[in-house]
Structure 1
Amino acid sequence: MSGLEVGEPIAAYLPAFGGYSEVVAADTRFVRSLRNGAGEADLAEAAGLPCVFPTAFGVLKDAGRLRKGEDVLIHSAAGGVGSAAAQLARELGAARVYGTVGSVEKIPYAAALGYDGVFLREGFAEPLAAVTGGRGVDLVLDPVGGPIREQSLTVLAPFGRLVAYGDLGRHEQWTASVWDLWKGNRTIAGFNIGDLARRAPERIGDYLGEALRLLAAGRIRPGVTRTLPLAEAAKAHHLLETGTGRGKILLSLT
């Protein structure tokens, strides 16, 4: 990307990390201005976009092939990517968006994001079948893995897609049966932003730019639920590692 001026507010995806620094060198392919045709995105809110929103775009559009009018199920619905994907799924034309969370305490937060239904992750298949009349959903986004991933295949509608993009549950490697995929008209796809950064970096930059435009237009919220000083970085990591956080946690240098 070119045309940036000295002092211009920007957001950047950092594939090699380094986001805790006061000064950082960034590949211009991952950099986008906060100023766009919709206005100027708020700097603090924009800080919550660079990783999760390009990831959400990728799992929905590229790996998930979401089409207008389809139904989506998002696991880890109250997390950073889940919060982003719920909003972007609507922007991309999804008909109904459902979510699952790991604890009862997270249901109100996830429900406020506009899900059509939020269920506890354990045992989610039965209530989902009830609200969809047994049809299931066209797309499942799964960062959890293990038994949840395996169970997610059973709730796919004909020609449904399951996108794996993480392993929060730290489960052993799970192998799907090609026979089951073939006989059930199901598809499994994968998304990894690290691989995309190496082989198609411009796509991440484009998705970040689109997210900044939607933010400036008031169409999306970054989902920042907590801002901590840099000195409390360990606390932020503890919230993430224990799964007790919601949405995005920012570290402030000011």
Structure 2
Amino acid sequence: MKAVIQKEYGDPSVLIYTDIEKPKLEKNEVLIKVAFSSVNYADIKKRKGKKGKGDFPFSLGLDVSGVVEEASPHSPFATGDRVIAFPKHGSYAEYVVADERLVFKIPESLSYEKAATLPTVAFLSYMLLHEIAQVKKSDSIVIHSAAGGVGSVLVQLAKLAGVNKIIGTVGNSDKVDYVKQLGADYVFTYESFKDEVLKLTYEKGATIIFDSIAGDITTDSLACLSLYGTLVQFGNSSGKTGTFTTSDVHSSCRNVKGFSLGTTRKHAPERLAPVAKQVMELVEKEQLDIKIAKVFSLKDVAKAHQLIESRKYEGKILIKM
């Protein structure tokens, strides 16, 4: 089968389009013929060697949409089932295998292209908003990187939940209108958000802040987080470590919550099935729609990575097999 692998860390040129053996099915796994995969920022970090170490050669990619080619005996899945999944060894390939607990059926009404936008960003966003932050209508929330994959879904879900005040941040002012169209009440750049949030909340601060950037953004977020507020930390796309001290939280009664979808897939995969059900219902009701920025062919994955790193896009970037 065709796949994209890498044998060293580096820039997009290390991604090799080649032939490899089709993966073999093991117990309680599903073999999937891939229709689409998505590109996530985690792929960029892993390609560069900044997200743990891998055994070369390996394939990048977190999620797929496609059709079940083969399933284990007594599996809840059968040949021909339309699914989305988190594969075992990357997703930049024509065929992948996945643990049955990380495979989810999709409705006939949902195209493979649209389905491929969901697993990572929609599952993560739903869990962040409803399980980790437990947002209430009375909250004032800040969503960093609001034009990105996860940020854009968080904005939509917060709007659906009736959150009182939704504030988005962007790295480029050209993205302000897009984020407002998604449902944000206010949108600011990273440079100005701290002061603007304090103004909007009469110096009290936001009650919940979603931080996937870290570094200085974490520092500025704590500076505009309310008493009893929650900072939800789920990434460090800046490549820098966000820091806080015990005095930042104990006297103000604030808290910091961390979450990783990757950790959850590995250690608590059973938590994802209920989330998949909720996400599918929202999509079927047309209450959630993830914009597709661009679709690349498998052999052009390097170009997809270049676009991700440019940050000059809105929505999800997909790979068509």
TM over 0.5: yes
1:235 aligns with 2:303: yes
1:136-193, CA deviations, whole angstroms, 9 ceiling, x for partnerless residues? 211100111111111101211221100111111111x343111221112211111111
* Counterpart among 267, 275, 280 of residue 199 in structure 1: 267
Offset at 1:52? 0.7
8 Å contact 1:56–1:81 — kept in the other structure?
Answer: yes
Which residue pairs with 2:154 in the alignment? Answer: 85
Q: Which has the higher contact order (CA 8 A, sep 6+)?
A: 1
Q: Distance in 2 between matches of 1:128 and 1:251?
A: 37
Which residue pairs with 1:12 in the alignment? Answer: 85
* Counterpart among 157, 172, 182 of residue 113 in structure 1: 182
Which residue pairs with 2:236 in the alignment? Answer: 167
Residues 26 and 246 (structure 1), Cα distance of their counterparts in 2 relative to 1, 3 Å cut: same
1:181-240, CA deviations, whole angstroms, 9 ceiling, x for partnerless residues? 111221111111111112211212332232122111101002212112222211111122
Query: What are the equivalent positions in structure 2 for 1:1-254 lying under 5 Å apart?
Result: 3-14=76-87, 16-35=88-107, 40-171=109-240, 173-253=241-321
Q: Distance in 2 between matches of 1:70 and 1:169?
A: 27
Q: Secondary structure at the match of 1:189?
A: strand
- Please, which runs of 5 or more residues in structure 2 have no aligned partner? 1-27, 29-74
Which residue pairs with 2:57 in the alignment? Answer: none
Offset at 1:23? 1.4
- Please, which runs of 5 or more residues in structure 1 have no aligned partner? none
Cα RMSD, aligned residues only: 1.9
Q: Secondary structure at the match of 2:97?
A: coil
Which structure would you say has the larger Rg?
2
TM-score computed with the length of structure 2 as normaliser: 0.72
Between the two proteins, the alignment pairs up a number of residues equal to 248
Which residue pairs with 2:41 in the alignment? Answer: none
Q: Distance in 2 between matches of 1:166 and 1:17?
A: 22
Higher strand share: 2
Offset at 1:3? 4.2
Which letter does structure 1 place at the counterpart of 2:192?
G
8 Å contact 1:58–1:191 — kept in the other structure?
Answer: no
Residues 238 and 66 (structure 1), Cα distance of their counterparts in 2 relative to 1, 3 Å cut: same
8 Å contact 1:53–1:207 — kept in the other structure?
Answer: no
Higher helix share: 1
1:24-79, CA deviations, whole angstroms, 9 ceiling, x for partnerless residues? 111121111112xxx73232111100111111122222322323331211000000
Which letter does structure 1 place at the counterpart of 2:106?
L
Percentage identity across aligned positions? Answer: 32
Which letter does structure 1 place at the counterpart of 2:172?
S
Q: Secondary structure at the match of 1:24?
A: strand
Offset at 1:114? 1.1
